[in-house]
Amino acid sequence: METWIEQHATLLQVGVSLATLLIWIFYAQLLFASYRRVRRPKIVINQMMGHSDKARFMISNMSQEAIHIDKVLVCMGTGDDCVYQQVTDIDPDQEAKREDPKSMLSAKLNEVTVQGPLEAGKCIELGAFQNLLDRVGRQQYQKTGDAGQADSLPNCDAVGNGAECRVEIIVIAVYSSEKGVIGASRAFVCQEDGLLRPENVQTTQHAGFFARRRMARLHEQYV
């Protein structure tokens, strides 16, 4: 045995070196994966309180650090037949109905906008599904000045109208020391029976290079 080891000492040494290298690569991969998991932002958009038009949406920060929510957009429709509207701040039409005209000035910041820092593990409510639809319709009418065009939003003028309505919620945020903006989105479909359900199981994270460029373009468009 000793003779065989002496004869193949060089080959054994190479084998041990390769095994050591593979072990180091394995542990380096584990460390890198752990680092990426800590640094990678994760925003979760959920539906709560049932599947009717009164269902509400919640934005949660599941990142390791705080994020700063900059813009929240609602996209109605698909492809070229879609409408984007910003719903970051409180609906001014709803605020105008309050008896006290100074209520907006005296309200807390989190009562008038979802913009701002969101700590890790915290969540914030966006609003009810039907309220978002109504708000997008009003904003579209104010933008176009055409009631007919506002009423013809892509199959989303009413819940349970016998046609599917697709609504995508897009959150644009800033994360830690990352350059530029990141984003997350999740689509929900109001089916023909009037029940609202998420299109996908998970929230789509827009943290890659090309995805972040798309988020930056949306951010610039709705500054």
Tens of pLDDT, residues 23-79: 999 888 888 877 777 778 899 999 988 888 788 999 999 988 899 999 999 988 766
Q: How many CB atoms lie within 10 A of CB 132?
A: 23
Q: What's residue 187's pLDDT?
A: 92
Give the Cα separation of 194 and 156 in Å (integer): 11
Whether 194 and 103 map to the same domain: the answer is: yes
Whether 178 and 154 map to the same domain: the answer is: yes
Q: How many CB atoms lie within 10 A of CB 109?
A: 9
Contacts of 195 (CB under 8 A, 6+ apart): 51, 52
Q: How many domains does the chain have?
A: 2
- Kind and range of the H or E run holding 46: strand 43-48
Whether 10 and 115 map to the same domain: the answer is: no
Whether 162 and 69 map to the same domain: the answer is: yes
Whether 151 and 64 map to the same domain: the answer is: yes
Whether 35 and 144 map to the same domain: the answer is: no
Domain extent, residue 7, equals 1-39
Q: With a cut of 70, say whether residue 179 has pLDDT above it.
A: yes
pLDDT (mean) for 174-182: 83
Whether 10 and 114 map to the same domain: the answer is: no
Give the Cα separation of 183 and 205 in Å (integer): 6
Whether 161 and 217 map to the same domain: the answer is: yes
Q: Write down the H helix ranges in the chain.
A: 2-7, 9-39, 92-96, 103-106, 109-112, 129-144, 147-151, 209-221
- Rg for the chain (alpha carbons), in Å? 25
- Kind and range of the H or E run holding 166: strand 165-175
Tens of pLDDT, residues 117-170: 999 999 998 888 888 888 887 777 666 665 444 454 555 544 445 557 788 999
Mean pLDDT of the chain: 79
Whether 123 and 206 map to the same domain: the answer is: yes
Whether 19 and 88 map to the same domain: the answer is: no
Q: What's residue 150's pLDDT?
A: 46
Distances in Å between the Cα of 27 and the Cα atoms of 14, 33, 81 are 20, 10, 49
Distances in Å between the Cα of 213 and the Cα atoms of 37, 178, 187 are 22, 13, 20
Whether 73 and 158 map to the same domain: the answer is: yes
Tens of pLDDT, residues 106-120: 456 666 788 889 999
Contact 60, 67 (CB under 8 A): no
Whether 105 and 135 map to the same domain: the answer is: yes
Distances in Å between the Cα of 198 and the Cα atoms of 26, 131, 164, 166 are 38, 18, 13, 10
